[in-house]
Amino acid sequence: MPSVLLTGFEPFGTTPVNPAEQVARRLDGTDVNGARIASCIVPNTFFTCIEVVKAAIAELQPEVVVMMGEYGGRATITVERIALNLNDGARYGLRDNDGKLLQDVLTAPDGPVAYRSTLPIRAMVRAMRDAGIPADISDTAGTFCCNHLMYGILHHIAVQGLNLRAGWVHLPHLPEVAALEHNLGAPSMSVETAAAGLRVAIAAVGAHPHDTEDTISSRLQI
């Protein structure tokens, strides 16, 4: 696994600092078990974000793409299982950074209803838990820009027949964001812990061409 593209969204909405951007910047240019990480900071805008990551894939020719975003309210790093061909920021009252508020808009009108991550999600979660980092599998990436980008890139890979694996990881709020008045009571995770989790997860991707059959227990349906 000589190269990994790691993407992180810029801040959006009422989130002044996005952990995904901070982790991407920290890990850019580092090595994980012989794999070199190249990071890409992505605009939090529908459709434009897909084009930015497609361009990064064309330029860097990675073997693996790990995309990241923030999911406020979650207490663990969550590895997403599935992306839907649906955009509905209106249900959250969320506009993208260009001010677009989408409702029931398809990412790819000619695409399937959903794509599954092609990363070894169980192995990634197991490795993070074994390293003492809270992690879980999630069955919903939402219907905002994170789900949108995950679906868009998996669709691009499928249509172009590209030989690479890709998927999504959500991070909790950073402590300084959880401390904001409108987020009081929300769980948080330091950027140091989140970055350590991503390093362990990326190492697990390299060690597992196919996912483990181990059952990953969960207390939440997320």
CA geometry: angle 65, 146, 8, nearest 5 deg: 55
The residue from 40, 49, 145, 146 that is catalytic is 146
CA geometry: angle 70, 72, 77, nearest 5 deg: 60
The answer to whether the beta carbons of residues 204 and 120 sit under 8 Å apart is yes
The residue from 80, 145, 156, 173 that is catalytic is 80
Question: Strand, coil or helix: what is 120?
Answer: coil
The residue from 155, 156, 170, 173 that is catalytic is 170
Residue 155: active-site member: no
Tokens of 111: 């695409």
Beta strand pairing call for 31-32 and 35-42: antiparallel
Residues present in the chain in total = 222
Residue 170: active-site member: yes
Residue 40: active-site member: no
Tell me the chain's radius of gyration from C-alpha atoms: 16
Q: List, by residue number, the catalytic residues.
A: 80, 146, 170
